[in-house]
Amino acid sequence: MTKPRPPLEQLRAVPILADLSDQELDWLIENGRYEEFPVGAVPVEQGAPADKMVIMLAGRLEFRFPTSTESLIIEPGSVTGLLPFSRMTHFVGMGRALTPMQTLSIYKPDFMPMLNAIPALGQRLVGMLTDRVRNWSQQELRQEKLASLGKLSAGLAHELNNPASAAKRASAGLLEAFNDLELTTARVGQRLGADGMELLLGHLQTLRPRLLSAMERADLEDELGGWLEGHGAAAAWDKAATWADAGVTVDWLEALSHLKHEIADPATLPMVWAWLEASIRTRSQLGVIQDSTERIAGLVKAIKGYTHMDQMPKQELDIHDGLESTIAIFGYKLKKGIRLERDYAKNLPKVDLYASEINQVWTNLIDNALDAMGEGGTLRIRTAREGGQILVEIGDSGPGIPPEIQGRIFDAFFTTKEVGKGTGLGLEMVRRIVQQHGGTVRLQSKPGDTRFQVRLPVPAAA
């Protein structure tokens, strides 16, 4: 059976082959595999070994990546697939024929014979590989930043939702409490007069909230509910929790009854309880709003510090500030049974860094550590001065990284996560960013103790 052959004119239409001799083109035809694919065919399977260079003679190929909604269209005249000197081992996406296609594939064992037979191809293919690496690097960085942005957006939405919802509920409760306070103030003031109200307000100012265990708080609520019910307070048991949070004790209530006869008068006392409850509830709701808005302001400050908005790209930075901003953004994950341990060195010098890029390093390393541990474990972050370098160590108590793959962990597109959950770009980007800063990153891992150690140079002036 005669081997199918593409015409020489088809090969000569490929730009990097246009000026080759007939003998050189014949070598490619004789040693390559000519194939035709119908519309919808899948010449490239995701995860398949990258073992061939593909010359697109006719048709169009759509290449899709599992972690991106974008696709790459490969046109006739292109050379794609595995190029000589490339370190690619597997195809990271899927290729589908958009139109009927014709290709000529040169397989990896024939690369060196090809370069020996056609010397002009060597420099051209190296140039193509250089362009591809540059384009891939830009695309990888963009995809990884988008992935990080998605994680941060989800985390921020979660973190902001809790205090925002609390503030919203408290503001609604505050309006109701304030209305009750206005009404009860008028009634109690009319009954006690200015002197009595001043005495009552003075006693209210002595309240100090206390930190209580769950058991202590439950016992206190029982005591308060019983005492208030015995002294004619309406809905005594409903109020007990609010009063316990405010620091009210039975002794404080007993002291109240001895302030002035009118306050303890049976006709006045129910009004006093109502006024105290409205006052305490108002203070409680104001406290929730204050805490919530402070939390929101802290998150805004953290994200501003994380992105270093309105600042020059490279600047002298405190490593700890960047770490803390990143930790704040991952607060929602830390609440899932993760214990955080900090071991920060004192008086570390500032380092010249590209802020947004170095924070991508902390984001990837912390996120990987949290993913490795799931919903329980210890995240350890340590900094130290080592001569002319600063060490940042991010560790976790997860299952560890098997020794047989530790040497590949920083390779592009290598990932231990399930398909669709990891790009294999995060740690490669970490390595690249750290190297751009003149630093190094290394891994130490065993079950229960995985550590990524980033070392960055200290400015000479420091």
Stronger pLDDT, 451 or 213, i.e. the higher one: 451
CA distance 365 to 202: 54
Q: What is the pLDDT at residue 288?
A: 82
Stronger pLDDT, 382 or 4, i.e. the higher one: 382
Highest mean pLDDT out of 298-312, 323-337, 338-352, 406-420: 338-352
Query: What sign does the CA torsion over 22, 23, 29, 32 have?
Result: negative
The three-point CA angle 288-289-290 to 5° equals 90
CB of 400 closer than 8 Å to CB of 413 = no
Would the pLDDT of 99 be above 90? Answer: yes
What pLDDT digit, counting tens, does each position of 424-449 carry? Answer: 456 888 888 898 888 999 999 999 99
Query: What sign does the CA torsion over 449, 452, 457, 462 have?
Result: negative
Q: What mean pLDDT, rounded, does the chain reach?
A: 82
Residue 338, Ramachandran bin (φ over 0: left; ψ between -120 and 50: alpha; else beta) = beta
CB of 125 closer than 8 Å to CB of 84 = yes
What pLDDT digit, counting tens, does each position of 128-145 carry? Answer: 887 776 666 566 656 655
Beta strands 101-107 and 33-37 are antiparallel
Look at residue 41 and give its three-state secondary structure: coil
Sheet holding 33-37, edge to edge: 33-37, 101-107, 52-58, 79-81
Q: Mean of the pLDDT values across residues 384-401?
A: 92
pLDDT band at 1 (very low <50, low <70, confident <90, very high): low
What pLDDT digit, counting tens, does each position of 281-321 carry? Answer: 888 888 888 878 877 776 676 666 555 544 556 778 889 98
CA distances for 385 relative to 265, 392, 434, 457, angstroms: 69, 9, 17, 10
Overall pTM surpassing 0.75 (yes/no): no
Q: What is the pLDDT at residue 64?
A: 86
- Biggest CA-to-CA distance, the chain: 117
Two tokens at 324? 């803390």
By the 10 Å C-beta count (0-12 exposed, 13-18 middle, 19+ buried), 325 is classed as buried
Would the pLDDT of 170 be above 60? Answer: yes
Number of H helices, E strands in the chain: 14, 14
Would the pLDDT of 413 be above 60? Answer: no
Highest mean pLDDT out of 37-46, 227-236, 353-362, 398-407: 37-46
| Helix axes of 119-204 and 355-373: crossing angle, nearest 10 degrees | 80
Query: What sign does the CA torsion over 374, 380, 386, 391 have?
Result: positive
pLDDT band at 114 (very low <50, low <70, confident <90, very high): very high
Annotate 396-427 with b (16+ C-beta within 10 A) or e (fewer).
bbbebbeeeeeeebbebbbbeeeeeebbbbbb
Tell me which residue of 69, 282, 65, 45 sits closest to 185, measured CA to CA.
Answer: 282
Stronger pLDDT, 408 or 324, i.e. the higher one: 324
Q: What is the pLDDT at residue 300?
A: 72
Tell me which residue of 51, 55, 28 sits closest to 117, measured CA to CA.
Answer: 28
Would the pLDDT of 421 be above 50? Answer: no
Tell me which residue of 420, 163, 112, 185 sits closest to 290, measured CA to CA.
Answer: 163
Count CB neighbours of 279 within 10 A. Answer: 20
Two tokens at 152? 């941060």
CA distance 106 to 52: 5
Would the pLDDT of 41 be above 90? Answer: yes
CB of 56 closer than 8 Å to CB of 103 = yes
